[in-house]
Amino acid sequence: MGKARQPASWGRFRVCVIRQGSVHIAGGASLSTHIHSLERLTISLRPAGNMPYELKRVFASLPQMERGVAKVIGGDPKGNNFLYTNGKCVIIRNIENPAIADVYTEHAHQVTVAKYAPSGFYIASGDASGKIRIWDTTQKEHMLKYEYTPISGKVKDIAWTEDSKRIAVVGDGREKFGSVFLWDSGSSVGEISGHAKLINSVDIRQKRPYRLATASDDTCGSFFEGPPFKFKFTLRDHSQFVNCIRFSPDGSRLVTAGADGQIFVYDGATGERVGSLGGEKAHKGGIYAVSWSPDSSQLISASGDKTVKLWDVGAATAVTTFNLGSDVSDQQLGCLWQKDHLLSISLSGYINYLDKNNPDRPIRTVKGHTKSIQCLTVHKGDGRSYIYSGSHDGHINYWDAETGENDCFSGKGHSNQVSKMQADEANELVTCSMDDTLRYTNLSKKEYSASDVVKMDSQPKSVSVSGGFTLAVCIGQLVLLKDKKKVFTMDNLGYEAEVGVIHPGGTTAAVGGNDGKVRLYSIQGNTLKDEGKTLEAKGCITDIAYSSDGAYLAVIDEKKVATVFSVADGYSVKNEFYGHHAKPVSLAWSPDNEHFATGGMDMMVYVWTISDPDKRIKIPDSHRLHHVSSLAWIDPHTLVTTSHDATVKQWTITY
């Protein structure tokens, strides 16, 4: 076995005694566990609390939305946070400052709903396979407490009893559509029956005597008494799917909301119908969600007619109507009333903070991405750093790196996946997309321009800007652009070009191919000239980048190797870097030109030091469920990563 190197910054420990299963170190620290190799031992010897990387900020994804499907938002009984789901993640956000977020990623399937226990100490989350996970909210690790599979299909809603001891779970299933059980043993405390189709919604009265109510696609609601919960009768007032059912916090009332645009009110203890809201119809479109005010006198309802209404339940009239737009993406599919905050969720995934005093304009709208992020870049403007991210659905968002305040460009932009982006010297964001276009967007105006779009002959895969030129690598051709116009096209390449970059000096373009070679072209006048010089990598090239001072060219390939070439020495190999267990796919140079980061399909991010291939910082599981799709640096000690989980993360790196 080779000699294990020890990076200087780790400090020197003297290992005094090794005795069964634990290492005793001078100074009293003890590293338990069975250590099989010297390499494992070296890794374990980093002093506690001196990690070379630390997660600094998380800019969370928006909820994953589906047209015509209600979105359940969970509220925190302490009033600090709210929660929702996207993909396999549960996202917890601070309600006062939604830029503060935490992401739970332990589900193996798409998570559909998450709800706090009334105690506030646990969250129950359910996924598309029918699995329920109950986990701790107080620790950062979110330890799993219990796991059950109460139904065999997608979980649609979860409800707890007020003592946090019993849980009702409903949704789709083969033999039953719901289950109610003890949280700590999984033992049944009743039977949820009475429905012929999947159950959309469940709630439990938060006062004794307990009552449980369900709402289903079979146009009916059901009323149960217990525990043990037994079916009492059916509520047959709706003519379409019943999407939501909720008891008031004081237990006196129960409401149902349906796709027929109606809201019916029942007595919370007996289940008898008391009336309906808004006369013949509460909304012009289907209603997807309702949420009660803390004092049980009012509620809000979210509808496909693109409005949210605030109701006085006693008078059965709408006090305020919030208009949230005229586009299909403005349909309202979820809502939450928590303390003084009224939240609604649009089909676009945007989270609206409603203003009772100005119903046509939300206090704030939380934006972001709902679909996987493919690329990002960092640009400084007005003395602040901004992160730009482009996603699978063509959406581009920008974030203030310090505060997390974010917005999207206005106007009509890309109609398909944004593949690569880079800011140029003229303060414009240059993006290439699967819609076969390049776009130049002014970063001061932050508005798409219909005139600054260049249509390509084939799909562009990569874009690079420097020295007034733009290089687009398209399927089957290389295109050089100047002043937003094509000035040179090179066809019949004889190889499949994957990615290209222009040297910061603006005189050379390096293009990586799927044959494992990097070809160097000189930019002469407005043309690309093949100088016949090629650099050899180990396999199909996945990304390449010049350091900002132009001294080095870094290349990553699917044979899991990163190679750095020294430009001044005729592109001789400076160093090779090994570490990834699967192909690396993204690459970014630190502004200090001495380090670069790579992200791979092995879920790993490595930060490499060009002078010493053995000195590396490894960030495992940076996005847990997905590989890192793109990397960028804000400053020499702040790395930004993004992934298919639609979140953007910032890491503090210390060498």
Q: pTM for the whole thing?
A: 0.88
The rounded Cα 132 to chain-centroid distance in angstroms is 21
The low-confidence residues of the chain, meaning pLDDT below 50, are: 1-48
Angstrom distances, CA of residue 338 to CA of 49, 129, 295, 577? 37, 30, 11, 51
* 386 φ/ψ angles, rounded to the nearest 5 degrees: -120, 140
N residues, the chain = 655
Interatomic CA distance for residues 453 and 455, integer angstroms: 6
Cβ atoms of residues 251 and 269 within 8 Å:
yes
Angle, alpha carbons 452-453-454 (nearest 5°)? 120
Reduce the DSSP state of residue 415 to 3 states and report it: coil
What 3-state class would DSSP assign to 41? helix
Q: How does strand 485-490 pair with strand 497-502?
A: unpaired
SS3 278: coil
Measured distance between the N- and C-terminal CA atoms of the chain, rounded to whole angstroms: 27
Q: How far apart are CA 498 and CA 484, in angstroms?
A: 22
Q: How many other CB atoms are there within 10 angstroms of residue 307's CB atom?
A: 23
Give the pLDDT confidence score for residue 49 in this predicted structure: 52
Residue 15 confidence (pLDDT):
38
**Residue pair 397/389 in contact by the 8 Å Cβ criterion:** yes
Q: What is the mean pLDDT of the chain?
A: 91
Q: How far apart are CA 54 and CA 444, in angstroms?
A: 32
In this structure, the dihedral spanned by the alpha carbons of residues 558, 559, 560 and 566, taken in order and rounded to 10 degrees, is -90
Domains belonging to the chain, first-starting first, are 58-366 (2.130.10.10), 373-590 (2.130.10.10)
SS3 39: helix
pLDDT for 56: 95
Which DSSP helix (H) or strand (E) runs through 477?
A: strand 477-482
Q: Show the tokens assigned to 363.
A: 């206090």
Structure tokens at 654: 């210390």
C-alpha–C-alpha distance, residues 467 and 482, integer Å: 9
C-alpha 248/C-alpha 254 separation (Å) is: 6
- DSSP state at residue 17: E
Whether 364 and 381 have beta carbons less than 8 Å apart is answered as no
Q: Taking Cα atoms as reference points, which of 498, 541, 534 lies closest to residue 516?
A: 541
pLDDT recorded at residue 383:
87
Please report the DSSP string for 149-184 in residue order.
--SSS-EEEEEE-TTS-EEEEEE--SS-SEEEEETT
The amino acid at 18:
I
433: left (phi over 0), alpha (psi -120 to 50) or beta: beta
Q: Three-state SS string across 200-240, please?
A: EEEEECCCCCCEEEEEECCCCEEEEECCCEEEEEEECCCCC
Contact call for residues 406 and 367 (beta carbons, < 8 A) = yes
In the chain, % helix, strand, coil (3-state, to 5) comes to 0, 50, 45
Structure confidence at residue 279 (pLDDT): 85
DSSP annotation string for 295-329: TSSEEEEEETTSEEEEEETTTTEEEEEEE--SSGG
Q: How far is CA 88 from CA 61, 129, 626, in A?
A: 12, 12, 10
**199, 178 Cβ separation under 8 angstroms:** yes
Contact between residue 368 and residue 89 where contact means Cβ atoms under 8 Å apart: no
d(CA 542, CA 602): 14
Contacts of 448 (CB under 8 A, 6+ apart): 409, 410, 411, 412, 413, 439, 441
- Report whether 406 contacts 648 (CB < 8 A): no
Within 503-647, strands assigned E span 508-513, 517-524, 527-536, 541-546, 552-557, 561-566, 572-578, 584-589, 595-600, 605-609, 612-619, 628-635, 638-643
User: Distance between CA atoms of 642 and 375, rounded to whole angstroms?
Assistant: 8
**Distance between CA atoms of residues 90 and 49, nearest Å:** 28
- Whether the CB-CB separation of 249 and 294 falls below 8 Å is answered with yes
